[in-house]
Amino acid sequence: MLRSSRSPRPKGRNQRVQTTGASLLNVQVLVTPAGRLVWVSDPCPGSTHDVAALDASGLLEGLDVSGWVADKGYIGRGMINPPRKPAGKKISDTAKEVSRSINRVRYIVEQVNAHIKTWKILKEDYRRPPGHIPTNHHSHPHALHLHHPLNSLQEVKE
């Protein structure tokens, strides 16, 4: 998620910034197993659930995602997800091992997300409310647009 706020950073000993998700942006990314960033969605308000943001992007339309690895926020979309802990029960040792092996692949995505957040263009807060993001933001000189066959596929669908 990208930060978008107007409030100053807290001072003193308690410097944690409390957020509700309303001032953040939810951006979906697609990364190859080698760690190459191939697709970035348009930003959604930070309060948007990951699955809703993914559905709004239209990325999954017509694609076989059965071999894609995703976190628990995408359960129910046919991807490989870590197992959830059963309600009121302990997670089994087998489920823990499955989760570990999936997370060994998923960490690559988290590293790419961390790298994106170091980009100078994203270091500063977006100082306007998320609703003020222009609809033609791809024509803006600071917009993030990646040229990759998946982006071309997305443009053809529209």
Give yes or no for a contact between 4 and 24, defined as CB atoms under 8 angstroms apart. Answer: yes
Domain ranges across the chain: 2-152
- Quick: pLDDT tens for 56-103: 998 889 899 999 999 898 998 899 999 999 999 999 999 999 999 999
pLDDT category at 115 given cuts 50, 70, 90 is confident
- Quick: pLDDT tens for 128-158: 666 665 555 444 444 444 444 444 444 444 4
What is the C-alpha to C-alpha distance for residues 80 and 74, in angstroms, rounded to an integer?
9
Both tokens assigned to 72:
């628990």
- Quick: pLDDT tens for 29-45: 999 989 999 888 888 88
Query: Is pTM beyond 0.75 here?
Result: no
DSSP codes joined into one string, 12-45 = SS--PPP--STTEEE--EEE-TTS-EEEEPPPEE
By DSSP bridging, strand 24-26 and strand 44-45 are antiparallel
Q: Which helix (H) or strand (E) holds 100?
A: helix 93-116
